[in-house]
Amino acid sequence: MSSTRPPERRQLTVMFCDMVASTALSLRLDPEELAEVIQTYRRRCADIITGHDGMVARQVGDAVLAYFGYPHAHENDAERAIRAGLALAKAQPSQTGSADLRVHIGIATGVVVVGSLPEGGEELSAIGSALNLAARLEGLAGPDMVVVSDQTQRLSGGLFEYRDLGPQNLKGFDTPVPAWEVLGERGDGSRFQALRTSSHTPLVDRQPELEELRRLWELVRGGQGQALLLSSEAGVGKSRLADELARRIVDRRCLHLWYHCSPNLQGTPMAPLVRHLAAAAGFAEDDDDDAKLRKLAGLVPREMAEPSDVVPLLADLLSVPYETRYPRLNMSPQRQKRQLFQALGQWLEAITARGPVLLVVEDLHWIDPSSEELIGILIERLRTLPIF
């Protein structure tokens, strides 16, 4: 017997996804082929949705309904839904037989009543305008397009690039409804910077903390590396203090290194470093492998050994093929990781020879194990490196 959940009221981000031209596809394929295509499509949807902590609530034909924020709510459910939508749009175009599995996706956020409703005929149901809105937005979306509601767009702040589709006349809604097309994720940057308002409110009641930051920075300037952990509940102001440190205390001429952990990348080794290196190297979408390798070589400080000793390690970390220009790394994964950590240590030594460095790792609670190990090694070396 299936367990039931009493209905409860909560904010939910809802996703509707269906296949492009599914009716035409059903006329082209025989029933067995069509069933195979639909099953492949459903499996891909389920894998991606659950991989972003969403829940597949219903599958009817080629339509998939998913919830983000139920049964477990997260502070970034709208972001998770958008990332899942972009992943679905990117994953589906591969061919399955004669079927091109492209999708339309609509996402909306709102308050719903969700749970096992009495005599509802379904194990799990949700009622609320967000479901209707997500379905209507899905109808607006073109092939491989993710269209989101105004509230979903606001909740995800500056994390993504959008195109304003303007107010839309949608069936069942009395007034025009704003809609946004998600164009993609913005480049590497602070979640705090992306999600905050355009201007700061005055910082109050933080003078002791600022004085402590000034004291520690003076020690770093004197050659004594320091490490500080800012820990508190969400919303208290950890990222704001780090931002004030960078803007008001640390010398502007000093190098600022900012790394960002992500809830979606906890299973990706060295995820903050990978994102930072790609941004620092200036990777562009139209770069070929040779262009990426040249850019990675340009990142290696002159004080270090030959780039040929470092670039293959970085290229392999960033999944850039390098064997056409550099010898293949023939070593075990553990030894390769040690070599990478050693190269990164030499990199920091070269950089700090030019002056003190501020290094910030945001959202540490989402860090992956390899990055955490690297931070531990760095902290052990702070006595000899002027790094905060």
Alpha carbon distance 67, 49 (integer Å): 9
For the stretch 226-281, pLDDT in tens is: 999 988 877 677 888 888 888 889 988 888 888 888 877 788 889 899 988 888 88
The pLDDT, as a whole number, for residue 293 is 93
Helix (H, G, I), strand (E, B) or coil at 307: helix
| Amino acid letter, residue 73 | A
Give the predicted TM-score (pTM) of the model.
0.59
Alpha carbon distance 69, 111 (integer Å): 11
Question: What are the residue ranges in the chain where pLDDT is below 50?
Answer: 1-2, 93-99, 119-122, 197-199
The pLDDT, as a whole number, for residue 24 is 62
Q: Among residues 159, 134, 132, 130, which one has the least CA distance to residue 146?
A: 134
The pLDDT, as a whole number, for residue 291 is 93
**Cis peptide bond upstream of 71, omega within 30:** yes
| Amino acid letter, residue 41 | Y
Q: Which long-range contacts (CB under 8 A, 24 or more apart) does 232-237 make?
A: 234/75, 237/203, 237/206
The pLDDT, as a whole number, for residue 200 is 53
The pLDDT, as a whole number, for residue 206 is 78
Structure-token pair, residue 255? 């190098």
The pLDDT, as a whole number, for residue 182 is 93
| Amino acid letter, residue 187 | G
